[in-house]
Homo-oligomer: A and B are copies of this chain.
Amino acid sequence: MRNLKVFIAYNGANYHGFQRQDNAISVQEVVEKAIGKLLKCEPPVIYGCSRTDAGVHARRFCFNFRTDSKIPCSGFVKGMNTILPADIAVLSCEDADEDFHARFCTKSKEYVYLINNKPNRDVFLQNLAYHYPYPLDIEKMRHAALLFVGEHDFGAFCRAEGKARVKSTIRTIYEVTVSENAGVVEIKIRGNGFLYNMVRILAGTLIYISEGKRTEDDIKSALLTRNRDFGGVTLPPEGLYLNEVYYGT
């Protein structure tokens, strides 16, 4: 039986996240149904690399699924893109090893948080960035962001109900960059794993740093005490993108 490894992109504005839900439309459900239609079979179960929250986007999201179909990978990409709605696209497909699993084989992931930092809303970034119209101190945010790099207990940067789901809240962040281009600020974070709402809280903490509502000492305290109060606000989902998933060594 083949094990297909598929990368997709999606605009999450109209979905209640990736994961299948009982009473709301999810990316998973739409993709599974499209596969069933293309391969003329019961919709298979697909295994996603990540849950994403309602409204969150993915530039590159990986899933795998098993099939007996002999469809060529190129035909799968082409066929899926004619069936899927315009806000989901299949980027690539390949035959993976039998034991490949999109979630459990992940080595690291990269998220991007986009902030429209122009005074007025951007009609072309509707649902695609968080609008924060006040000046941001990028240098200050960049400096504070370095405190996140390394292996830390990120328990303070996790939504409460997320903590119960995981054995440990220790994660390693490899890199954080804060850049600005034409009034759009991009916070990019790569790490070996992320807790529930972690990127949205880290990004919100950097905004609080810029505003002076939190200090670098607060971040250090957050990492030591796991106390959520030392962190900043949880930013809304529309600015968040799963940017890349890394496998292999």
- Residues of chain B within 8 A (CB-CB) of A81 are 120-121
Q: Are B11 and A88 in contact (CB under 8 A)?
A: no
- A56, CB-defined interface residue at 8 Å: no
- A124, CB-defined interface residue at 8 Å: yes
- A101, CB-defined interface residue at 8 Å: no
- A10, CB-defined interface residue at 8 Å: yes
- Residues of chain B within 8 A (CB-CB) of A219 are none
- Residues of chain B within 8 A (CB-CB) of A9 are 120, 122-124
Report A171-187 CB contacts with B as 1/0, cut-off 8 Å. Answer: 00000000000000000
- Complex formed: what's the CA distance from A89 to B10 in Å? 25
- A57, CB-defined interface residue at 8 Å: yes
* CB-nearest residue of chain B to A128: B124
A148-203, CB < 8 A from B = none
- A90, CB-defined interface residue at 8 Å: yes
Q: Are A86 and B11 in contact (CB under 8 A)?
A: no
Among candidates B87, B120, B126, residue contacting A123 with C-beta atoms closer than 8 Å? B87
Interface size class for chain A?
A: 20 to 34
- A138, CB-defined interface residue at 8 Å: no
Q: Are A89 and B11 in contact (CB under 8 A)?
A: no
* CB-nearest residue of chain B to A86: B126
Among candidates B88, B90, B91, B121, residue contacting A86 with C-beta atoms closer than 8 Å? B121
Please give the distance in Å from A127's CB to the nearest CB on chain B: 8
Q: Are A86 and B123 in contact (CB under 8 A)?
A: yes
- Residues of chain B within 8 A (CB-CB) of A121 are 81, 86, 89
18 more contacts with CB within 8 A, not counting A9-B122, A11-B124, are A9-B120, A9-B123, A9-B124, A10-B123, A57-B124, A59-B124, A77-B120, A81-B121, A86-B123, A86-B126, A87-B123, A87-B126, A88-B123, A89-B121, A89-B122, A89-B123, A90-B120, A91-B120
Can you show 18 pairs from A to B with CB atoms below 8 A apart?
A9-B122, A9-B123, A9-B124, A10-B123, A11-B123, A11-B124, A11-B126, A81-B120, A81-B121, A86-B121, A86-B123, A86-B126, A87-B123, A88-B123, A89-B121, A89-B122, A89-B123, A124-B128
Closest 10 CB pairs of A and B: A11-B123, A86-B126, A9-B123, A89-B120, A89-B121, A87-B123, A89-B123, A10-B123, A91-B120, A11-B124
